[in-house]
Chain A
Amino acid sequence: MLEAVFSNWILPTLRVSTPLIFAALGGMWCERSGVVQIGLEGIMLVGAFFAAVVTHSTQNPWWGLGAGMVAGLVLSLGYGLTVLKLKANQIVAGTAFNLFAMGVPPFLSMIWYDSTGSTPVIPSEALFRSAPLFLMVASVVLSAVFYHRSKFGLRVRFAGEHPKALESAGISVQGKRWQGIALSGMLAGLGGATLSIYLASSFSRNMSSGRGFIALAAVILGKWLPIPTVVACLLFGFTELLQIRLQGVVLWGERPVPVQWIQILPYLITIVVLAFAMGRTRAPKALGGVE
């Protein structure tokens, strides 16, 4: 019985939550340092694409995972350049990077595979079985420990909460923000990679389908704290699992509920949960501010 619950519900929930958790942890670090990160969606997408491409050509998912992480890092550093160096508005720049990221896979897949935005299927021997799951758990533990106990965590928190206090203690606020942005790029890139080479076996067009935004919602719902953010991700992951399981199931009457209605579920729950959680959460004070 217990074993059935674990293998039918708990493990699958953890699996589908993995991309969300990676991205949300990245978002948490970035926003805690005082920079709004709505670019998670684009970073995940690019991460997923390059992970699939590299895994396909090397037949080794570890290279793919690394490629996803690097692609995410590169994109996030571009974002850092526009908002930290050039002081662009963070919402506008983040949106621009999301739009840009949407265009990358179709463009490159046309050149490389003569396809309009998907990559060839990767044979199952070259895919991950459960390594990303352990990697995710390690990231959660490390994030929580570093957030609460390390000098780095303390300073990132002050960069987002009271940058002047950090500056007057002799620590560079911009430095912490660069590190926050870089972390978000690497972690969201990893999250994207797990979409294409762990949960699926290729990259398909727009495969992140809003997960970056749901991860951001989890950060807000989790009050910008590591463990609550992960719990929020698990909640959203569970609704996604439910959505998959309910497809084609007859709930009442004779015919199953149309699949389109079922697919709304994760997004609907996101909206409802956020609406109720709003007002009870408090963002880092200097979030989105220009220094």
Chain B
Amino acid sequence: MNAIEFRKITKRFGGFTANRDLSFSVKKGSIHGLIGENGAGKSTAMKVLFGIHPADSGEILIEDRPARITNPVHAMKTGIGMVHQHFMLAGPETVLDNIILGHEPGRVFVGRKRAEAELRSIAKTYGLDFDRWDRPVSELSVGEQQRVEILKLLYQRSKVLILDEPTAVLTPQEVKDLFGNLIRLREEGKTIILISHKLKEVLGYCDEITVIRRGETVGTRKASETDEAELARMMVGRDVSFTYQGERKMFAGTAEMRPLVRVEGLSIESTTEPLRDVSFELKPGEILGVAGVQGNGQSTLLRALAHPAHHRSRWSGGYQFNGKDHSESDPITLRNDGLGLVPEDRLSEGLLLNQDMTENFLLGQHEDPRYSKNGFLLRAKARAVTESKIKEFDIRPPYTTVWTGRMSGGNQQKLVMARALDPGPTVLYIAHPTRGVDVGAIEKIHDAIVRERNRGKAILLFSSELDELIDLCDRMLVFYNGGVRAEFARPEFDPWTIGRVMGGGDR
């Protein structure tokens, strides 16, 4: 039996067709992957399913019967629930209240005791290990918050659970736990639809995978009968390489050159993610990778190196940048001395989402004499430069007036990269350059990083994607428990060894 079937669904917005004759079916009691690039029409398809946008033509069958869902609440009552990429949870409220909101067992009062008893039995049935019902959600880790979202759906007796990019925010360990939970849910008869663009994950855990491109179904494959290359080809419409194919010149004489960054015995006190006695050097023309399971000090390292002044009271150790002591500098001083920064989270740290591209391109460069004169911004100049960057980096849509919040992740990232490179930095700190970015755009971003290396820039690259680091880096530092556990040179790169060190083992 099919839990859900799309039959020739077409949805137009004005002249734009978001879904065209979209057809696929999801077997009851299976994990079904739905993949496609940003803008391929996955989320429109889900909005049609939830009744947010009515379809122009075609029909949707639920458990083999035609269904006409008119709004999300109706969908919920039909047994279809969704875990959104951005969680629908109120931080100060308790786990219990977040879960039962709108479905409280009592008539006037909430009936927390009854609800908790029911939740305990649900958690037990589905093997979701959880017992922190009266804690505020804000105290939970991201992985736990996701579990709360799943519990919310189970409490509402959803039979079909749709997860939108569920692993984008999780650590590798949490990803493993999540899929363990999903497999258990499948065993208990639930149907799971996984919206993703991480091919490895859908291949590893889904039963079937449907690929959508430009609003149309490209095809559905059994996970056991396909591979990464085929799925990527279906997604992008051409062959995609998973390893960096561009030219990788040996930058002349890196070994003898004076390091641009020298970190000596750096420790940062922190209750959540301390840094312990980290030392390294970064020379022109090399990419130094920072690897590790999230939370082992990498974030603290980046924040400390980008803004030493902010960490002054918790700082010990030396930080030479471009030959000068910068252990008390602020970001502007560092930028003026040649630092380009691509921050960890472009949404919260890299962009003003309600501002246009020109404003975002100017961020942090307001004082630059190229863009300001006597305290006034040279807007026309800034706009012209932004336009040229849009061409150079192939940013879409190609209009400076577009709010960055309306752009896809890949295009946002290209803009952040363009801004970091604009003042002509000699050193780049780049964090998670391809997180939440389409397969097609990843290539372009990788090209840009290696190009800068070939030009003699010193690059410190933070990434949670080990494959990416292996592809791009000349050397790699593996972090564990706040310190550098091991250093690898390019010839020694081996994912299994590095993975073992990331988990605290020895090389």
A residues near B, CB below 8 A? 149-152, 154-155, 157-158, 161-162, 164-166, 168-171, 282, 285
Return chain A residues, CB-CB under 8 Å to B93: 157-158, 161
Closest 4 CB pairs of A and B: A169-B102, A170-B73, A162-B90, A165-B88
Chain B residue with minimal CB distance to A163?
A: B90
In the assembled complex, B76 has its CB within 8 A of some CB on chain A: yes
Return chain A residues, CB-CB under 8 Å to B73: 170
The residue from B89, B102, B108 contacting A170, defined by CB atoms under 8 A apart: B102
Q: Are A168 and B88 in contact (CB under 8 A)?
A: yes
Return chain A residues, CB-CB under 8 Å to B103: 169
Return chain A residues, CB-CB under 8 Å to B338: none
CA distance A169 to B104 in the complex (A): 11
The residue from B88, B102, B108 contacting A150, defined by CB atoms under 8 A apart: B108
CB distance from B292 to the nearest CB of A (A): 33
Residues of B86-126 at the interface with A, using a CB-CB cut-off of 8 Å, are 88-93, 97-98, 101-104, 106, 108-110
Known contacts A149-B110, A150-B109, A166-B101; 17 further A-B pairs (Cβ under 8 A): A150-B108, A150-B110, A151-B104, A151-B109, A154-B104, A154-B110, A155-B101, A155-B102, A158-B93, A161-B91, A161-B93, A162-B89, A165-B88, A165-B98, A169-B101, A169-B103, A285-B91
CB distance from A145 to the nearest CB of B (A): 9
Return chain A residues, CB-CB under 8 Å to B90: 157-158, 161-162, 165, 285
CB distance from A149 to the nearest CB of B (A): 5
Return chain A residues, CB-CB under 8 Å to B104: 151, 154
CA distance A151 to B72 in the complex (A): 21
Residue of A149, A151, A166 with most partner-chain B CB within 10 A: A151
Residues of B407-436 at the interface with A, using a CB-CB cut-off of 8 Å, are none
On whether A162 and B88 interact (CB within 8 A), knowing A150-B110, A151-B110, A169-B103, the answer reads: yes
Return chain B residues, CB-CB under 8 Å to A282: 92
CB distance from A282 to the nearest CB of B (A): 7
Q: Are B109 and A149 in contact (CB under 8 A)?
A: yes
Return chain B residues, CB-CB under 8 Å to A151: 104, 106, 108-110
CB distance from B337 to the nearest CB of A (A): 34
Return chain A residues, CB-CB under 8 Å to B88: 162, 164-165, 168
Return chain A residues, CB-CB under 8 Å to B102: 155, 166, 169-171
Q: Are A154 and B92 in contact (CB under 8 A)?
A: no
Interface of B is mostly: loop
Return chain A residues, CB-CB under 8 Å to B108: 150-152
CA distance A42 to B15 in the complex (A): 51
Query: What are 20 of the A-B contact pairs (CB < 8 Å)?
Result: A151-B104, A151-B108, A151-B109, A154-B97, A154-B101, A154-B104, A155-B102, A158-B101, A161-B90, A161-B91, A161-B92, A162-B90, A165-B98, A166-B101, A168-B72, A169-B102, A169-B103, A170-B73, A170-B102, A171-B101
Chain B residue with minimal CB distance to A160?
A: B90
Q: Are B97 and A170 in contact (CB under 8 A)?
A: no
Return chain B residues, CB-CB under 8 Å to A170: 72-73, 76, 102
CA distance A157 to B89 in the complex (A): 12
CB distance from A212 to the nearest CB of B (A): 27
Return chain B residues, CB-CB under 8 Å to A152: 108
Chain A residue with minimal CB distance to B105?
A: A151
Return chain A residues, CB-CB under 8 Å to B110: 149-151, 154
Return chain B residues, CB-CB under 8 Å to A285: 90-91
Chain B residue with minimal CB distance to A165?
A: B88
CA distance A155 to B98 in the complex (A): 10
Return chain B residues, CB-CB under 8 Å to A157: 90, 93
Chain B residue with minimal CB distance to A161?
A: B90
| A-contact bits for B194-210, CB 8 A (1 contact / 0 none) | 00000000000000000
Return chain B residues, CB-CB under 8 Å to A164: 88
CA distance A164 to B76 in the complex (A): 15
Residues of B366-393 at the interface with A, using a CB-CB cut-off of 8 Å, are none
CB distance from B323 to the nearest CB of A (A): 40
CB distance from A164 to the nearest CB of B (A): 6
CB distance from B261 to the nearest CB of A (A): 36
Residues of B207-243 at the interface with A, using a CB-CB cut-off of 8 Å, are none
Chain B residue with minimal CB distance to A282?
A: B92
CA distance A170 to B88 in the complex (A): 13
Return chain A residues, CB-CB under 8 Å to B98: 165
CA distance A169 to B90 in the complex (A): 13
On whether A165 and B89 interact (CB within 8 A), knowing A154-B101, A170-B76, the answer reads: yes
CB distance from A276 to the nearest CB of B (A): 22
CA distance A170 to B109 in the complex (A): 18
CB distance from B103 to the nearest CB of A (A): 7
Return chain B residues, CB-CB under 8 Å to A169: 101-103
CA distance A165 to B104 in the complex (A): 14
CA distance A150 to B104 in the complex (A): 9
CA distance A152 to B73 in the complex (A): 19
| A-contact bits for B71-87, CB 8 A (1 contact / 0 none) | 01100100000000000
CA distance A166 to B97 in the complex (A): 11
CA distance A171 to B73 in the complex (A): 9
CA distance A155 to B73 in the complex (A): 16
CA distance A285 to B90 in the complex (A): 9
CB distance from A63 to the nearest CB of B (A): 30
| A-contact bits for B467-482, CB 8 A (1 contact / 0 none) | 0000000000000000
CB distance from B363 to the nearest CB of A (A): 24
Return chain B residues, CB-CB under 8 Å to A149: 109-110
CB distance from B148 to the nearest CB of A (A): 11
CA distance A161 to B110 in the complex (A): 18
CA distance A5 to B242 in the complex (A): 81
CA distance A158 to B101 in the complex (A): 8
Return chain B residues, CB-CB under 8 Å to A171: 101-102
CA distance A261 to B93 in the complex (A): 44
Return chain A residues, CB-CB under 8 Å to B72: 168, 170
Chain B residue with minimal CB distance to A168?
A: B88
Return chain A residues, CB-CB under 8 Å to B109: 149-151
CB distance from B136 to the nearest CB of A (A): 11
Return chain A residues, CB-CB under 8 Å to B91: 161, 285
CB distance from A288 to the nearest CB of B (A): 16
Return chain B residues, CB-CB under 8 Å to A155: 101-102
CB distance from B183 to the nearest CB of A (A): 26
Residue of A149, A169, A170, A171 with most partner-chain B CB within 10 A: A169
Return chain B residues, CB-CB under 8 Å to A162: 88-90
CB distance from B289 to the nearest CB of A (A): 37
